[in-house]
Amino acid sequence: MQRMTARQYRNASKRRRNKYRNRRVEIDGHMFDSKAEARYYKQLQLLEKADEILFFKLQPRYRLLDGFEKNGVRHRPIDYVADFEIHHKDGSIEVIDVKGHKTQVFRIKQKMFEKKYPHKLTLVQWKAGRFVEI
C-alpha cells in the first residue's frame, strides 16, 4: 500500500464539493458559496450603477445571542451571516440570503433575527432563469 504525499492530499481535498453541491465562485476578489450568490452580486452591482439602490454590503454579520457562562460552562455567541445587506434610497435596509432550501438551523436563526432586528429579511432562490422569493 502506497501513502499519499501532503501535496497529493491537499489537491485531493480541494476537489471535494460541499454537502449542498454548490461550487464556490470568485468574482472581483470576493469568494461566493454558489453560482447563484455570485449571480445576485452581479445583479446588485447593476442596481447600484443604475442608482436604484444606495449601496450594498457583502456578508454582514448579525449577533443573535451574546455569549454567556452558566454552571461553569462557557457558551459562545450565536451569529447570523447573511449574503447581502442592501441600503435602499428610502433609508430602509433589506437583508438578502440566497438559498437553495431552508435548513433547520436557518429556520431557527431566521426567527431570532426577526425578533431582534427591524430589517426586512428576504430569501431568494435562482429558479427558471431568475431570482424568486422563497
> Regarding predicted confidence, which is higher, 14 or 119?
119
Task: Give the domain 21-133 fold.
Answer: Trna Endonuclease; Chain: A, domain 1 (3.40.1350)
Look up residue 78 and give its three cell numbers.
Answer: 450565536
Burial tier of 103 (Cβ tally within 10 Å: 0-12, 13-18, 19+): exposed
Taking all residues of the chain, what is their mean pLDDT, rounded to a whole number?
Answer: 89
How far is Cα 77 from Cα 87, in angstroms, rounded to an integer? 26
CB proximity list for 38: less than 8 A, separation 6 or greater: 25, 27, 32
Indicate the domain borders of the chain: 21-133
- pLDDT for 25-74, tens place per residue? 888 888 998 899 999 999 999 999 999 999 999 999 999 999 999 999 99
The percent of residues in the chain predicted with pLDDT above 70, rounded, is 92
CB 119 within 8 A of CB 80: no
